[in-house]
């Protein structure tokens, strides 16, 4: 089957719904999506500290584990908000701290049923960051990478086929 002809389904519809619920609570008036958005932590901090509306990068939002660009944008908004609110930079340590805060929020709101969602977020945020750090390229098949990373992070990071 042609890559573009694939029918994408969300990896977890419950996670999609949780992301949309959390983001709508954080941003009742929404946020902007654009081809240009703050690219560094300092740019994000300066932008939001100045009282400006959050801007999310629009690129790379097709073919994600969410199967819907709008959910991917909502995830990015929530993620970037935590970077800013928590003072977490874009380093591996900062990304890990943001991921763990997102997991804390999910578990606080949804209980133990959110633990699988946390595994997915750790694979998406931390796993993909570590993969990029090791291989100097982005994951092409996000869904396959995340499913494998949840099963065995170390082996998944060794392969450069994603």
For the stretch 5-35, pLDDT in tens is 355 799 999 999 999 999 999 999 999 999 9
Q: What radius of gyration, in Å, describes the C-alpha atoms of the chain?
A: 15
Q: Is this prediction's pTM over 0.85?
A: yes
User: Phi/psi class of residue 65: alpha, beta or left (left: φ > 0; alpha: ψ in -120 to 50)?
Assistant: alpha
Cβ neighbours for 47, distance < 8 A, ≥ 6 positions apart: 38, 54, 55
Q: Which residue stretches of 3-152 are H helix? A: 13-26, 41-49, 69-86, 92-110, 115-121, 128-135, 142-151
| Position with higher pLDDT, 161 vs 71 | 71
In degrees, to the nearest 5, what angle opens at C-alpha 80 toward C-alphas 128 and 6? 50
Domain ranges for the chain, please list them: 10-158
CA distance 43 to 31: 16
pLDDT given for residue 4 in this prediction: 44
CA distance 125 to 121: 6
Tell me the pLDDT tens digit for each residue of 89-139. 999 999 999 999 999 999 999 999 999 999 999 999 999 999 999 999 999
Q: Cα-flanking dihedrals φ and ψ of residue 60, to 5°?
A: 65, 30
pLDDT given for residue 81 in this prediction: 98
- Residue 1: pLDDT over 90: no
| Position with higher pLDDT, 90 vs 4 | 90
Tell me the pLDDT tens digit for each residue of 48-86. 999 999 999 999 888 899 999 999 999 999 999 999 999
pLDDT given for residue 6 in this prediction: 52
pLDDT given for residue 5 in this prediction: 39
DSSP 112-157: GGGHHHHHHHIIIIIIHHHHHHHHSS--S-HHHHHHHHHH-HHHHH
pLDDT given for residue 65 in this prediction: 95
- Residue 155: pLDDT over 70: yes
């Amino acid at each position: 089957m042609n890559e573009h002809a694939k029918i994408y389904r969300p990896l977890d519809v419950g996670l999609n719904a949780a992301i949309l619920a959390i983001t709508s609570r954080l941003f009742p008036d929404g946020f902007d999506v654009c081809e240009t958005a703050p690219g560094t932590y300092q740019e994000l901090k300066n932008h939001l500290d100045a009282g400006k509306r959050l801007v999310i990068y629009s690129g790379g939002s097709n073919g994600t584990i969410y199967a819907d660009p709008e959910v991917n944008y909502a995830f990015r908004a929530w993620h970037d908000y935590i970077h800013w609110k928590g003072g977490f930079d874009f380093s591996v340590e900062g990304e890990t701290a943001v991921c763990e805060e997102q997991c804390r929020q999910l578990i606080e709101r949804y209980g133990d049923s959110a633990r699988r969602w946390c595994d997915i977020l750790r694979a998406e945020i931390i796993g993909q960051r570590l993969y990029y750090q090791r291989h100097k390229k982005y994951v092409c098949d996000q869904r396959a990478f995340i499913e494998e990373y949840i099963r065995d992070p170390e082996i998944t990071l060794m392969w450069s086929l994603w």
